Structure 1
Protein backbone atom coordinates (compact mmCIF):
# COMPACT_ATOMS: atom_id res chain seq x y z
CA UNK A 1 0.00 0.00 0.00
CA UNK A 2 1.34 3.42 -0.97
CA UNK A 3 2.33 5.86 1.77
CA UNK A 4 1.12 9.46 1.56
CA UNK A 5 3.90 12.02 1.08
CA UNK A 6 3.82 15.07 3.35
CA UNK A 7 6.15 17.81 2.09
CA UNK A 8 6.94 20.27 4.92
CA UNK A 9 6.74 23.84 3.57
CA UNK A 10 10.19 24.86 4.83
CA UNK A 11 11.79 21.81 3.21
CA UNK A 12 10.06 22.63 -0.06
CA UNK A 13 11.26 26.24 0.05
CA UNK A 14 14.81 25.41 1.10
CA UNK A 15 15.52 22.26 -0.92
CA UNK A 16 13.08 21.93 -3.82
CA UNK A 17 12.57 25.50 -4.98
CA UNK A 18 16.28 26.13 -5.83
CA UNK A 19 16.42 23.02 -8.04
CA UNK A 20 15.75 23.20 -11.74
CA UNK A 21 12.20 22.19 -12.73
CA UNK A 22 13.59 19.08 -14.43
CA UNK A 23 15.47 17.87 -11.32
CA UNK A 24 12.53 18.82 -9.06
CA UNK A 25 10.19 16.70 -11.18
CA UNK A 26 12.64 13.77 -11.13
CA UNK A 27 13.02 13.93 -7.30
CA UNK A 28 9.26 14.19 -6.76
CA UNK A 29 8.72 11.19 -9.04
CA UNK A 30 11.29 9.14 -7.10
CA UNK A 31 9.66 10.05 -3.79
CA UNK A 32 6.12 9.34 -4.94
CA UNK A 33 6.76 6.33 -7.19
CA UNK A 34 9.55 4.50 -5.38
CA UNK A 35 9.92 5.62 -1.77
CA UNK A 36 6.17 5.92 -1.10
CA UNK A 37 5.54 2.36 -2.28
CA UNK A 38 8.45 0.73 -0.46
CA UNK A 39 9.91 3.14 2.14
CA UNK A 40 11.59 0.45 4.24
CA UNK A 41 13.21 -1.36 1.32
CA UNK A 42 14.55 1.45 -0.85
CA UNK A 43 16.09 3.70 1.78
CA UNK A 44 19.09 2.98 3.97
CA UNK A 45 18.55 3.50 7.72
CA UNK A 46 20.70 6.25 9.21
CA UNK A 47 22.34 6.22 12.63
CA UNK A 48 23.62 8.56 15.33
CA UNK A 49 21.83 11.92 15.43
CA UNK A 50 19.87 10.86 12.36
CA UNK A 51 18.49 7.63 13.80
CA UNK A 52 14.89 7.26 12.63
CA UNK A 53 15.67 8.72 9.21
CA UNK A 54 16.39 6.91 5.99
CA UNK A 55 18.44 7.98 2.99
CA UNK A 56 17.66 7.18 -0.64
CA UNK A 57 20.55 7.68 -3.03
CA UNK A 58 20.04 8.68 -6.63
CA UNK A 59 22.62 9.36 -9.26
CA UNK A 60 22.57 13.10 -8.60
CA UNK A 61 21.51 13.54 -5.00
CA UNK A 62 20.18 12.09 -1.77
CA UNK A 63 16.71 12.18 -0.31
CA UNK A 64 16.54 11.97 3.49
CA UNK A 65 13.12 11.11 4.89
CA UNK A 66 11.22 9.84 7.91
CA UNK A 67 8.44 7.29 7.94
CA UNK A 68 5.38 7.92 10.10
CA UNK A 69 3.95 4.43 10.38
CA UNK A 70 0.91 5.43 12.46
CA UNK A 71 -0.23 8.00 9.88
CA UNK A 72 1.10 6.02 6.90
CA UNK A 73 3.19 9.00 5.70
CA UNK A 74 6.61 9.73 4.25
CA UNK A 75 8.09 13.07 5.37
CA UNK A 76 11.06 14.33 3.32
CA UNK A 77 13.56 16.05 5.64
CA UNK A 78 16.27 17.06 3.18
CA UNK A 79 17.01 16.81 -0.52
CA UNK A 80 20.32 17.69 -2.09
CA UNK A 81 23.83 16.72 -2.99
CA UNK A 82 25.63 14.32 -0.65
CA UNK A 83 28.15 16.83 0.64
CA UNK A 84 25.57 18.89 2.51
CA UNK A 85 22.24 17.04 2.52
CA UNK A 86 22.65 15.73 6.07
CA UNK A 87 23.64 19.12 7.50
CA UNK A 88 20.49 20.74 6.12
CA UNK A 89 18.03 18.73 8.22
CA UNK A 90 16.31 21.25 10.51
CA UNK A 91 17.05 20.76 14.19
CA UNK A 92 13.35 20.81 15.04
CA UNK A 93 12.95 17.64 12.98
CA UNK A 94 15.70 15.74 14.83
Structure 2
Protein backbone atom coordinates (compact mmCIF):
# COMPACT_ATOMS: atom_id res chain seq x y z
CA UNK A 1 0.00 0.00 0.00
CA UNK A 2 1.41 3.36 -0.87
CA UNK A 3 0.06 6.80 -1.49
CA UNK A 4 0.66 10.45 -0.93
CA UNK A 5 1.26 11.75 2.52
CA UNK A 6 0.46 15.15 3.96
CA UNK A 7 3.04 17.75 3.00
CA UNK A 8 5.10 19.03 5.89
CA UNK A 9 4.18 16.12 8.17
CA UNK A 10 6.41 13.27 9.14
CA UNK A 11 5.25 10.43 6.93
CA UNK A 12 6.76 7.59 8.93
CA UNK A 13 5.74 5.72 11.99
CA UNK A 14 5.29 2.26 13.43
CA UNK A 15 1.85 1.25 14.67
CA UNK A 16 1.17 -2.08 16.35
CA UNK A 17 -2.23 -3.68 15.81
CA UNK A 18 -3.55 -6.27 18.27
CA UNK A 19 -6.71 -8.33 17.93
CA UNK A 20 -7.32 -11.41 20.06
CA UNK A 21 -4.19 -13.58 19.76
CA UNK A 22 -2.86 -11.93 16.54
CA UNK A 23 -0.56 -8.91 16.22
CA UNK A 24 0.90 -6.94 13.31
CA UNK A 25 3.25 -4.00 12.99
CA UNK A 26 2.40 -1.44 10.33
CA UNK A 27 5.57 0.36 9.24
CA UNK A 28 4.77 3.67 7.53
CA UNK A 29 7.48 4.99 5.25
CA UNK A 30 7.30 7.92 2.81
CA UNK A 31 6.85 5.73 -0.27
CA UNK A 32 5.47 2.47 1.12
CA UNK A 33 3.70 0.71 3.95
CA UNK A 34 4.94 -2.65 5.23
CA UNK A 35 3.23 -5.16 7.47
CA UNK A 36 5.50 -7.18 9.76
CA UNK A 37 4.99 -9.50 12.72
CA UNK A 38 4.56 -7.52 15.94
CA UNK A 39 6.34 -8.85 19.01
CA UNK A 40 5.33 -5.98 21.28
CA UNK A 41 8.47 -3.89 20.79
CA UNK A 42 9.35 -1.03 18.48
CA UNK A 43 5.94 0.57 17.94
CA UNK A 44 5.27 4.29 18.29
CA UNK A 45 1.67 3.43 19.15
CA UNK A 46 -0.50 0.34 19.61
CA UNK A 47 -4.14 -0.06 18.61
CA UNK A 48 -5.98 -2.92 20.32
CA UNK A 49 -9.51 -4.19 19.81
CA UNK A 50 -11.78 -7.11 19.16
CA UNK A 51 -11.00 -8.54 15.72
CA UNK A 52 -14.21 -7.29 14.11
CA UNK A 53 -13.92 -3.85 15.74
CA UNK A 54 -10.29 -3.46 14.69
CA UNK A 55 -11.08 -4.44 11.11
CA UNK A 56 -14.00 -2.02 10.91
CA UNK A 57 -11.92 0.75 12.50
CA UNK A 58 -9.13 0.20 9.96
CA UNK A 59 -11.70 0.61 7.17
CA UNK A 60 -13.07 3.79 8.78
CA UNK A 61 -16.39 2.14 9.66
CA UNK A 62 -16.12 2.52 13.43
CA UNK A 63 -15.01 5.52 15.49
CA UNK A 64 -11.93 5.42 17.68
CA UNK A 65 -14.12 4.76 20.74
CA UNK A 66 -14.30 1.09 19.72
CA UNK A 67 -10.53 0.46 19.96
CA UNK A 68 -7.90 1.22 22.59
CA UNK A 69 -4.97 3.41 21.53
CA UNK A 70 -1.77 3.81 23.49
CA UNK A 71 1.36 5.73 22.57
CA UNK A 72 1.85 8.37 19.90
CA UNK A 73 -1.55 9.55 18.66
CA UNK A 74 0.13 11.30 15.71
CA UNK A 75 1.45 7.94 14.42
CA UNK A 76 -2.09 6.53 14.53
CA UNK A 77 -3.36 9.64 12.73
CA UNK A 78 -0.76 9.10 9.99
CA UNK A 79 -1.92 5.47 9.63
CA UNK A 80 -5.58 6.45 9.34
CA UNK A 81 -4.68 9.20 6.86
CA UNK A 82 -2.79 6.73 4.65
CA UNK A 83 -5.70 4.28 4.82
CA UNK A 84 -8.13 7.03 3.82
CA UNK A 85 -5.96 8.05 0.87
CA UNK A 86 -5.80 4.53 -0.56
CA UNK A 87 -9.40 3.49 0.13
CA UNK A 88 -11.31 6.58 -1.02
**Structure number with higher helix proportion:** 1
TM-score using structure 1 length? 0.28
**TM-score for both structures, normalised by structure 2:** 0.29
More strand by share: 2
